Amino acid sequence: MKKIAILGSTGSIGTQTLDIVRNYSGELQVVALAAGSNVELLEKQVREFQPKVVAMWSEKAAMDLKERVSDLEVSVLAGMEGLLSVAVFPEVEVLVTAIVGMIGIRPTIEAIKAGKDIALANKETLVCAGHIIMPLAKEHNVSILPVDSEHSAIFQSLNGEPKNRINKILLTASGGPFRGKRKEELQNMQVEDALKHPNWSMGRKITIDSSTLVNKGLEVMEAKWLFGVEPEQIQVVVHPQSIIHSMVEYVDGAVIAQLGIPDMKLPIQYALFYPDRRVMNEKKLDFFELQNMTFEKPDTETFYGLKLAYEALRSGGNVPTIYNAANEKAVALFLEKKISYLQIPEMIERSMSKISKIENPGVEQILETENRVYEYIAGLV
Ligand code: NDP
Ligand code: MG
């Protein structure tokens, strides 16, 4: 029985992870869960999966949950302390980081120190702290198993291949709901328009990120840390059908890819059972139904959030944190309808030019940078 914990169990990745646990209840056991404030759903999950410890970010929600589940033997915790307790809970073997945003940094680091393998969906953590997390994982002999579909595809395409023979990584992108649009057309895009992703059903923040191509920018940075390649070796290829989930080109010109229907359950399940593969009773790819696969260059003039990501990655230090924190704040403001769509990349660009650079930042400096960016953006709106 593999014992797992999930940070962000009530979200898109979290609930799909629990679907897999439900299918493999004889082999996977949930021992700890954490979420933000969705008490109703977390209560249901606690009753069904019977974890030993749960945490809610919101103190109020935690108190509410504690009352609701007082008939069960489960400890209910709150805040960062709660997230950390879930992450390092002694029985946990694999921590699924399905929380959204930089809040995942500290729990992920503590889990690695406690020797837990990480099934990583929370890309923001690697973007900001990859230089801390990757060496730490090596030191503690811990596996970082990618859940992000592109990175899972790359991971699968690297199986059994010599790592020093990679020419480049071809990171595929659907292009999002605004593919083909020009800047003028994006001016008046509303939250509802940006939330209509053509192929994937995901949480709100990542869906907005997909529409701006900032998600792809974050994924470029995530790929650098996971696979130890240089920015020049990561090429984004727009592939609107989202069938090829990413590819690796080797020095001899061979390209190895992983294909499948767009369904996050596959990469999640692969991470949970790696290196094994298990039956998944979902629709399979039918090449006759799939008439064609097309490819385009990304439009990095209109969707310049992607270009800024490469700049942030090349600068290094805390610049990826500035990029990420500015995006997190700007997307939150856009979702609250306080700024317009095009102000998202604008705020990233302005933050990157305004906030001072720190080389090789530690966790405290990463979190300080986040605060500085938030203050700067608060001053802009
Ligand atoms: P969702 O918004 O659907 O879910 C986020 C989860 O995190 C919820 O359970 C939420 O709890 C919880 N949460 C948010 N803030 C806190 C906090 N401060 N403390 C504790 N829990 C918190 O996001 P997704 O599932 O879409 O994304 C999660 C991560 O996975 C992101 O980093 C995303 O980039 C990545 N990812 C997602 C993919 C997808 O298909 N969805 C694909 C690839 C990567 P509550 O509901 O209670 O607020
Ligand atoms: Mg992805």
Q: Which residues pair with 76 in a beta bridge?
A: 54
CA-based nearest residue to 339, from 243, 212, 167, 151 = 212
Check residue 206 and give its pLDDT.
97
Pocket lining: 24 vs ligand 1, CB cutoff 6 Å? no
The CA 271 to ligand 2 mean position distance, Å, reads 14
What's the CATH architecture for 316-381?
Orthogonal Bundle (1.10)
Q: Which two tokens stand for residue 178?
A: 């605004």
Answer yes or no: is the C-beta of 206 below 6 A from any ligand 1 atom. yes
Q: Which ligand is nearest to the CA of 245?
A: 2
Tokens in use for 244? 């090829």
- Name residue 301's amino acid: E
Bridge partners (DSSP) of residue 55 are: 34, 77
For position 138, what pLDDT does the model report? 98
CB of 35 closer than 6 A to ligand 1?
yes
Q: Kindly state if the Cβ of 209 falls inside 6 Å of ligand 1.
A: no
From the number of C-beta atoms within 10 Å of its C-beta (0-12, 13-18, 19+), residue 267 rates as: buried
Determine if ligand 1 sits within 6 Å of the CB of residue 268: no
User: Which residue, among 282, 310, 256, has the nearest Cα to 127 in the 3D structure?
Assistant: 310
Nearest to 264 by CA among 198, 200, 206: 200
Residue 58 CB less than 6 A away from ligand 1:
no
The ligand 1 atom at the shortest distance from the C-alpha of residue 206 is 34
State the distance from the centre of ligand 2 to the C-alpha of 211, rounded, in angstroms. Answer: 12
Beta-strand ranges (E) seen in the chain are 2-7, 28-35, 53-56, 75-78, 94-97, 117-120, 144-146, 166-173, 234-238, 244-250, 255-259
Look at the block and give the residue holding tokens 């696969």.
293
Residue 10 near ligand 1, beta carbon < 6 Å? yes
Q: What are phi and psi of 123, to 5 degrees?
A: -65, -30
Contact 42, 15 (CB under 8 A): no
Nearest CA-CA partner of 273 in 104, 16, 21: 21
Could you identify the atom of ligand 1 that is nearest to the CA of residue 13? 25
Q: Say if ligand 1 is within 6 A of residue 38 CB.
A: yes
pLDDT value at residue 59: 98
Fold of 2-146: Rossmann fold (3.40.50)
- Residues in the chain, pLDDT under 50: none
Q: Are 115 and 94 in contact (CB under 8 A)?
A: no
Helix (H, G, I), strand (E, B) or coil at 349: helix
C-alpha 193/C-alpha 179 separation (Å) is 12
Q: Is the CB of 8 under 6 A from ligand 1?
A: yes
Nearest to 323 by CA among 128, 190, 106, 178: 128
CATH 1.10.1740.10 boundaries in the chain: 316-381
> Taking the CA of residue 182 as centre, how many other CA atoms within 13 Å lie in the half-sphere pointing to its CB?
1
CATH code 3.40.50.720 region(s) in the chain: 2-146
Helices 105-113 and 363-380, axial angle in degrees (round to 10): 170
Residue among 381, 379, 328 nearest 354 (CA):
379
* The length of the chain, given as a count of residues: 381
Determine the distance separating the centroid of ligand 1 and the alpha carbon of 197, expressed in angstroms: 17
Q: Ligand 1: which residue has its CA nearest to atom 2?
A: 203
Tell which one of 9, 10, 13 to mutate to probe ligand 1, the residue whose CB is within 8 A of the most ligand atoms: 13
pLDDT value for 291:
85
Cα 11 to middle of ligand 1, angstroms: 5
CB distance 5 to ligand 1 below 6 Å: no
> Does residue 320 have a cis bond before it (omega within 30 degrees)?
no
Query: Rounded to the nearest whole angstrom, what is the distance from the C-alpha of residue 246 to the centroid of ligand 2?
Result: 10
| Ligand at shortest distance from the CA of 217 | 2
- Within 8 A by CB and 6+ apart from 160, the residues are none
> Using an 8 Å Cβ cutoff, are 200 and 262 in contact?
yes
